[in-house]
Amino acid sequence: MQHQARKRFGQHFLTDSGVIDAIVRAIAPRPGDAMVEIGPGLAAMTQPLVERLGRLTVIELDRDLAARLRQHPQLDVIESDVLKVDFAQLPERLRIVGNLPYNISSPILFHLLPFAGRVLDQHFMLQKEVVDRMAASPGHKDYGRLSVMLQWRYDIEALFDVPPEAFDPPPRVMSAIVRMTPWPQPAALDPALLEELVAVAFSQRRKLLRHSLGRWLEARGFAGAFDLQRRAEEVPVAEFVTLAQSLQ
């Protein structure tokens, strides 16, 4: 039975076999790996993955697709909004993959952040613009809150671009594959504090930090040294991290 892509779920089904093969090769699944796929859709990537793994857990919100996926004997189906899934209930050394719905990709990335210590790696298809922001370096126009929050916790590698015609229906944007590998020993800090600090810093990204972060630090009674005569996009991730640690 033909499945119509549902706009409310941000469904764009990957159909290009060459692209699917390239993604699976980048993931390099091995028999016995504990892997979960977010948004398997019509199982274009699911099938080659499960053939290599032996068994695969999938998270699917669309109940019609979830019912279809349950018929596959090698799949464990979690029918849920991924933002409600407690990844702590899944195995350790988890490998997470997926073609993420572009309308909620950032919330998904932030939802996964607290579980990074249990994760081996993550491979996602995202809007290229989002991948560019995730991997951006200080001084680049794409460098911002997303770059800092994710690079604190992961080594981020943009792998390759995927054109709209690789999907049905084709999205209006270029897509890209990203690999996220959690740092084995990330800097110990309060993630909520870092997130607040970074949000304040980038709230007026065209102005010097003394206008935004300076006032926030002053209100917290910060007496340490931090160069506020810069814009937020000039500050390396390590400096934001060190500042957050000094405030704890």
CB contact at 8 A, 230 and 211: no
CB contact at 8 A, 40 and 69: yes
Beta-sheet pairing, 119-127 with 94-99:
parallel
Task: Say how far apart CA 198 and CA 204 lie, in whole Å.
Answer: 11
CB contact at 8 A, 151 and 142: no
Residue 114, preceding bond cis, omega within 30 degrees?
no
Residue 60, marked binder: yes
Residue 187 DSSP symbol: P
Residues written for the chain: 248
Strand partners, 75: 56
Residue 79, marked binder: no
Task: Say how far apart CA 182 and CA 153 lie, in whole Å.
Answer: 6
Residue 171 DSSP symbol: P
Residue that the structure tokens 């309308």 belong to: 103
Residue 39, marked binder: yes
Beta-sheet pairing, 56-60 with 75-79:
parallel
Residue 99, marked binder: yes
User: Binding site membership: which residues?
Assistant: 12, 14, 39, 60, 81, 99
User: Binding site membership for S-adenosyl-L-methionine: which residues?
Assistant: 12, 14, 39, 60, 81, 99
